[in-house]
Structures are given as structure tokens and as C-alpha cells.
Amino acid sequence: INGSPDASADPTTGISIPTIAASSDATVSFVADVTAAPSGGATDYVNTVTAEYTFQSPDSTTLTNSVTATNTIYPDSVVITPTITKSDNTSNTIPHVVAINDTVTYTITISNPDATEPITNINLTDTLPSGLTFKTGSVSINGSPDASADPTTGISIPTIAASSDATVSFVADVTAAPSGGALKYVNTVTAQYSFESPDSTTLTNSVTATNTIYPNSVVITPTITKSDNTSNTIPHVVAIGDTVTYTITISNPDATEPITNINLTDTLPSGLTFKTGSVSINGSPDASADPTTGISIPTIAASSDATVSFVADVTAAPSGGATDYVNTVTAQYSFESPDSTTLTNSVTATNTIYPDSIVITPTITKSDNTSNTVPHIVAIGDTVTYTITISNPDATQPITNINLTDTLPSGLTFKTGSVSINGSPDASADPTTGISISTIAASSDATVSFVADVTAAPSGGATDYVNTVTAEYTFQSPDSTPITSSVTANNTIYPASDLIVPTVTKSDTSSNPIAHVATIGDTIDYTITIQNTNATRPITNVILRDTIPSELTFNPNSLDINGTSTPGSSLPTSISLGTINPSSSATVKFSVTVANNPTSNSKYINTAEVDYNFQTTNGTNLSNTVTSTNTVYYEDVVITPTITKSDNTSNTVPHVVAIGDTVTYTITISNPDATQPITNINLTDTLPSGLTFKTGSV
């Protein structure tokens, strides 16, 4: 009473109040507990207070009177409480997250749940937190812009009819980080409003809604990578029928917090088909998982990884004229903000592979030129010059970053300083460690040559020197992605021990009394013998070529091959002898007539050339040529000494002898040539019957 407690007072039985002086007040307060709803279906608690009092009339007569006052309160069942929601839409790619200079659009919806009564006199106030600034002119009320409205000072909203809504949106600029070290922007909107009670009394109330957004410093952004491993020999390239294994790695960079609720989706591009049952998650197969519909991945702990792999079949070329298969994987995930709010985000990774139709495949050839007389054959001490040619077949694109490597087999040693690149020596280059080759332009070639010394026989019982050259190179795909590939070429040479060299002899028999001498009109019989000296391997495709000198004329029908006459008016330009078996021979004979003097040097030189094939020990076919030359001399080269024989008998009659006589013979041989001696002279004199050589008398 008048501010002083009176524990014994009870308004229901009456409270005595001290006299109220002229022009003064008295105040009584007390508390009532609400213990039940209004009775009898009433919708209010109507409460009347009565103050009885006395006062004196002007003539000092005491008069009595009373005054009353009524107060009405209402049960909460009469309250209309609209629902209010506040949502955000940030310009950031991550929902509910902002960076400085981003914007956030707030949308506040107030819904009147009452089916009969409106809410009125609505005033919405939204005082933005530090770091957010209202963007003037951005307010929209129920879809209509209101350039003058400002939520920070209050926005008047039209009456919301029964069971209706009102919507307010506005934009805030993110101008600074949250203040005071906070890691969030907490924003509260308040809507004050009026409604009528059932007895038409206007009541007021307010509702609030809170929205929280976060600075991007709280975001956990895992790294995601997607790699491919194709069944093709060229990395990142596939042909129809190939497979590609994709491996996706998601790494959580946060040192304390996990990422959860991870769902990985990979919708393969046209031309690639997921191989059912091929998924592996963190190394464990999951036969039911399918990346095209989504794969659930276990929580990734702080500073940890998760790996998903699967296989796709290449079933068609890229669609729509594309020159690549572009494949994007998306991982959606959740993480907790510092205030334990669950936020969601997603990360993506893209992988591109290419059809083999875009591959530039240069041709590469490797040839050998040995110092041996037989092609592709070497002996210890020989050298071999290798020539490698790389040809770029593409009409528009170069190939680049070319590195040529040629690791020589055992028994061959690179000759330092022997490299030549496109005709220019490069003394420092070494094919065994790699040679860098300049870019090869479209439709162009590059050539590398070098020399190897033959220092030993093939190792390990091998019967050849097999040598492989590899050229690694780069080319650009149609989307300018560098792709690396390689091409190889093999070359094989053989040790001299593998060589079969038949002996070829060509002999002559002339009609002249002097061996190997002929004159015009004489005939010469030639005999050519080809002997296979190998005891186990034949020689095959044996071809004899013998072009007789122009001064000699072939005698028709004189050709004889292995004892069989071969009719013909001329000597064939090539004579096929087929196969000569091991340790066997073939013989060719023919006859010529000397028609003219030799054109020079007084001799007829005739060469037989034999081409043939043979197989190396490992079954490789090689070819070789051997020759044999025969010379017949014209008669003008013959030195014919004069020889005289005289006798001197012991008889008195010259040139007459009797039994018992002796005869002395004197033989004189005279060399008529002015410059040349005659040698290897052997004189034989077989005495006739009746004459006996006198020993010691020469």
C-alpha cells in the first residue's frame, strides 16, 4: 500500500487505505495467480475494484460514497500469434556463408494463422549486426518495391488478413567480418502488431525470428581430385571397347572437424557406361554402389581422406561431334560451424579423356648399315650405323618435347660423338641416355643417326642383336590439352656366325690349245658351280646372273643346268636355281664363241653373280650376293718362245749314229718378249726307243 508491503491485507475481503490528502493519490498493488480458464465459456477475466470512502460536506457532515474500476485480461487462447520466418540467400556459392563484398538477401515471412481475424498495425524492425549494411532501396513488400523503406528504422506492413501472409525482402552488403571475434552474423527481426480480442479490445504483441549466416573463414572445403587410368597404351586416351578406371580422392583439410553426410555423384558423359559392381570405397568393394545415382561415403575425419574408384566402359564416340569425354564428379557434404550449426556445401572435380581419333601417331623406322659386306650381318670389330626416322603424319599439328632413347643390346657399344640430328652432328648426344629432338612440324620428318661398335657376340646364347628405339613425344588435343605418347621401332642384326656364304667358282675350257686363251672363232665352255657350305641350312631363291662380255656370243642351246639341257637362243638374264640343300651344289654350264677382239686389256672378263636367301638360326630370312670372276685372254697376250734342238753325233757322218755311238742334244729356248720374262719353265724330252739318256750329262 503506497509502496509498503502489507502481508496481512487481502483485497477480496477488503483493504483499509490511509486517508488520501487533498490533491493526492494512494496506490495499492497485489498479485493474482491464474489458476483456471475463464468460467462459463467466457473469453476474458473481467475484474472490478470498488473503493468505498467518506468525505465531509461543506457543513462538515460526513458523507459516504464508492467508486469502481474494471480491468479485463484475456486468456492466451485469444492471442493471435503469427509465425515469422527469416531466410537468407547469399551471393556466395556456399549456402548461409558470405565473404566480404558478398550480398545477402533476407526474406521475412509473417503468416497470420487465425482463420477469422486480421493482424494490424504491423511494424517490422531488423537491426543488422556489425559487418552487414542495409542496401538502400532494396526493400520489397509483398513483391512490390518500396525504395524508401528501411528495416533498420522500421517498416510498416499492411494488415494481414485471416489465414494470409506478408513477405518482406531486402538486401544487405557484407562490409566487414563479424565484430568482437565472432564467427557468425546473428540477425534478429521483430514484428510488432495488433489484433482484437473476442470483445473487440485491441491487443498488441510482437514476434521475432533469428537468422545466422557465417563468414567463409568457417567453411571446411575439402580438396577433390579425379584421375583416370585407361586400358589404352596412351595415357588419357581411349578407343571403343577400352575401359577407364576413375579414382576420386576427397581430402578433409581441417585439423579438428570431420566432414559428414557425404554423397558423391558422377554422371558419366555420353559414350561412357558405368560398369556395374566396379565401385570400391576406401579400398573395399561395394557391388551395389553406383556413382551415377549417388554413393554415400563414410565420414571423413579431420586431416583424412576418402577414395572412391570405379570402372566405365567406352561404348561410343563422344556425342554431338565432341572431341573429348568431359566428366564431372560432385561431392555434397556437411560440416559444423563453430556454434555447431550444420552447414552444407559441395565440391566438384572435372576429368577429361580423349578418343583415339585425336591421337597423332608418328611413324618411326630404324634401319641399319653395317661395315660388313653382307647386309644386316656384323662381326666383332665391325661397326653399324643406325638411322631412325620419325615422321609426323598430321597435316596441321606439330609434335613436341620429343625424346629418343635407344638402349643398345649387349655386344654393341655406342660410339661417342657419332650422333647426327637432321644432318647436323651433335657430339654430346647419346641415344642410350636420351636425345632431345626439335619439334617436328606438321607433315615433316626428323632423322637421327649414330654408330655402334660391335664389341662382343650376342649375350646369353642369343643369336641376334635386337635393338629397340623409343620416341616419347607430346601433342595437343583439339582443346589444347598436352597429351604424351610414345612409339617404338625394332631393328635386328645378326652375328657373322649366322651367315651362310656359298662358294661360287667359274671355270673355262677354250678350244684354243693354250689354256685360258682364245682367239676369234674359238669357243669357250664356262662352268659355274655354287656350293652350299652349310651342313644344316639350305640356301633358297638362288638366282644366277651372268652377263657375258659383248665380244663373246652365246652358243644357242648350250645352257645346261644341273645336267639338264635348257634350249634357248640366248643366255637368260637370270637363271633360277631354286633351293640348294645343305652341303650340296648346283652347276650351270654354257658355251660362247669369241666373235671380236677384247675392247681393252686383251682379256674377256666374265662375272657370275649369285643372289640368294638364307635363314638365320632364329628363322629370320636374310639375303646376300656372292660373285665369281673368270678371265680368258686374247691370244695376243701369249709369249711364245722359240725352241730349237740340234744334235752332234760321235759318228763321222752328221746326224747319223751306229749302235754304240753317242749323240749330244742342244736345246735352245728364246724369250722374244722385250719386257716380260717367262717363268716356271719345265723341259721334258722323252728319248725314242734305242736311245738311252746318259746320266749326269745334262
Q: Which of 61, 78, 95 is the last residue of a domain?
A: 78
Q: Which residue has the higher pLDDT, 417 or 636?
A: 417
How crowded is residue 666: how many other Cβ atoms within 10 Å of its Cβ? 9
User: Which amino acid is residue 164, in one-letter code?
Assistant: S
3-state SS of the chain: helix, strand, coil percent to 5? 5, 50, 45
Residue 149 C-beta-side C-alpha neighbours within 13 Å = 21
Give buried/exposed letters for 513-542 (b at 16+ CB in 10 A, else e): eeebbbbeebbbbbebbbebebeeebbbeb
Could you tell me if 628 and 678 lie in one domain?
no
Could you tell me if 173 and 199 lie in one domain?
yes
Q: Does residue 475 contact residue 481 with C-beta atoms inside 8 Å?
A: no
Model confidence, pTM: 0.71
Q: Which candidate, 15, 202, 215, places its Cα nearest to that of 96?
A: 215
Within 8 A by CB and 6+ apart from 103, the residues are 90, 91, 135, 171, 172, 173, 174
User: What is the rounded distance in angstroms from the CA atom of residue 314 to the CA atom of residue 628?
Assistant: 63
Grid coordinates 632413347 are at which residue? 405
The DSSP H or E segment spanning 511 is none
pLDDT for 297: 98
Q: In terms of DSSP bridges, do strands 144-145 and 642-649 run parallel, antiparallel, or are they unpaired?
A: unpaired
Mean pLDDT of 410-438: 97
What is the per-residue pLDDT across 146-195, written as a single tens digit (0 to 9) for each? 999 999 999 999 999 999 999 999 999 999 999 988 899 999 999 999 99
List the CATH number of the domain containing 193. Answer: 2.60.40.740
**Coil, strand, or helix at residue 277?**
coil
What is the per-residue pLDDT across 125-136, written as a single tens digit (0 to 9) for each? 999 999 999 999
Could you tell me if 169 and 105 lie in one domain?
yes
Mean pLDDT of 440-464: 96
Give the sign of the dihedral formed by CA 412, CA 418, CA 424, CA 427: positive
Could you tell me if 168 and 185 lie in one domain?
yes
**Coil, strand, or helix at residue 180?**
helix
Q: How far is CA 471 from CA 410, 437, 494, in A?
A: 21, 9, 24
Q: Does residue 312 contact residue 325 with C-beta atoms inside 8 Å?
A: no
Which long-range contacts does 53-61 make (Cβ < 8 Å, 24+ apart)? none
pLDDT exceeds cutoff 80 at 359: yes
DSSP conformation letters of 319-377: GGG-SSEEEEEEEEEEEE-TT--EEEEEEEEEEEEEEGGG----EEEEEEEESSSSTTE
Domain enclosing residue 292, as ranges: 223-356
Residue 521 C-beta-side C-alpha neighbours within 13 Å = 0
Mean pLDDT of 565-580: 96
pLDDT for 634: 94
Could you tell me if 466 and 544 lie in one domain?
no
Grid coordinates 475463464 are at which residue? 38
Residue 271 C-beta-side C-alpha neighbours within 13 Å = 22
Q: In terms of DSSP bridges, do strands 559-561 and 585-594 run parallel, antiparallel, or are they unpaired?
A: antiparallel
Mean pLDDT of 589-613: 94
What is the per-residue pLDDT across 207-227, written as a single tens digit (0 to 9) for each? 999 999 999 999 999 999 999
Percent of the chain beyond pLDDT 90?
A: 96
Could you tell me if 598 and 674 lie in one domain?
no
pLDDT exceeds cutoff 90 at 545: yes
pLDDT exceeds cutoff 90 at 569: yes
Q: 497: which DSSP letter?
A: G
pLDDT for 430: 98
Could you tell me if 339 and 382 lie in one domain?
no
Q: Which three cell numbers stand for residue 314?
A: 567406352
Q: Does residue 193 contact residue 79 with C-beta atoms inside 8 Å?
A: no
Identify any residues that bridge with 214 across adjacent strands, giving them in sequence order: 97
pLDDT exceeds cutoff 90 at 460: no
The full length of the chain comes to 698
What is the per-residue pLDDT across 22-56, written as a single tens digit (0 to 9) for each? 999 999 999 999 999 999 888 999 999 999 999 99
Identify any residues that bridge with 467 across adjacent strands, giving them in sequence order: 491
CA 50 to chain centre: 99
Identify any residues that bridge with 565 across adjacent strands, giving them in sequence order: 560
Percent of the chain beyond pLDDT 70?
A: 100
pLDDT for 242: 98
Q: Is 444 exposed, middle or buried (0-12, 13-18, 19+ CB in 10 A)?
A: middle
**Cα radius of gyration (the chain):** 60
Chain-wide mean pLDDT for the chain?
96
Q: Does residue 582 contact residue 502 with C-beta atoms inside 8 Å?
A: no
Q: Which candidate, 324, 82, 105, places its Cα nearest to that of 206?
A: 82
pLDDT exceeds cutoff 90 at 295: yes
pLDDT exceeds cutoff 90 at 678: yes
Q: Which of 217, 240, 262 is the last residue of a domain?
A: 217
Q: What are phi and psi of 326, to 5 degrees?
A: -95, 130
User: What is the rounded distance in angstroms from the CA atom of residue 279 to the CA atom of residue 263?
Assistant: 14
Within 8 A by CB and 6+ apart from 251, the residues are 222, 223, 224, 300, 304, 305
Could you tell me if 106 and 170 lie in one domain?
yes
Give buried/exposed letters for 361-378 (b at 16+ CB in 10 A, else e): bbebebebebebebebbb
Mean pLDDT of 572-600: 96
Q: Does residue 179 contact residue 145 with C-beta atoms inside 8 Å?
A: no
Identify any residues that bridge with 171 across adjacent strands, giving them in sequence order: 105
Could you tell me if 684 and 565 lie in one domain?
no
Could you tell me if 268 and 282 lie in one domain?
yes
Q: Does residue 374 contact residue 623 with C-beta atoms inside 8 Å?
A: no
Q: Is 584 exposed, middle or buried (0-12, 13-18, 19+ CB in 10 A)?
A: middle
Domain tally, the chain: 6
Q: Which of 183, 217, 251 is the last residue of a domain?
A: 217
What is the per-residue pLDDT across 89-117, written as a single tens digit (0 to 9) for each? 999 999 999 999 999 999 999 999 999 99
Could you tell me if 247 and 349 lie in one domain?
yes
Could you tell me if 371 and 455 lie in one domain?
yes
User: What is the rounded distance in angstroms from the CA atom of residue 312 to the CA atom of residue 243?
Assistant: 6
Q: Which three cell numbers stand for residue 349?
A: 572435380
pLDDT for 41: 86
Q: Does residue 386 contact residue 493 with C-beta atoms inside 8 Å?
A: no
What is the per-residue pLDDT across 302-335, written as a single tens digit (0 to 9) for each? 999 999 999 999 999 999 989 999 999 999 999 9
In 103-184, DSSP assigns E strands to 103-111, 120-126, 132-134, 140-141, 144-145, 155-157, 165-174
pLDDT exceeds cutoff 80 at 600: no
Q: What are phi and psi of 319, to 5 degrees?
A: -85, 160
pLDDT for 180: 86
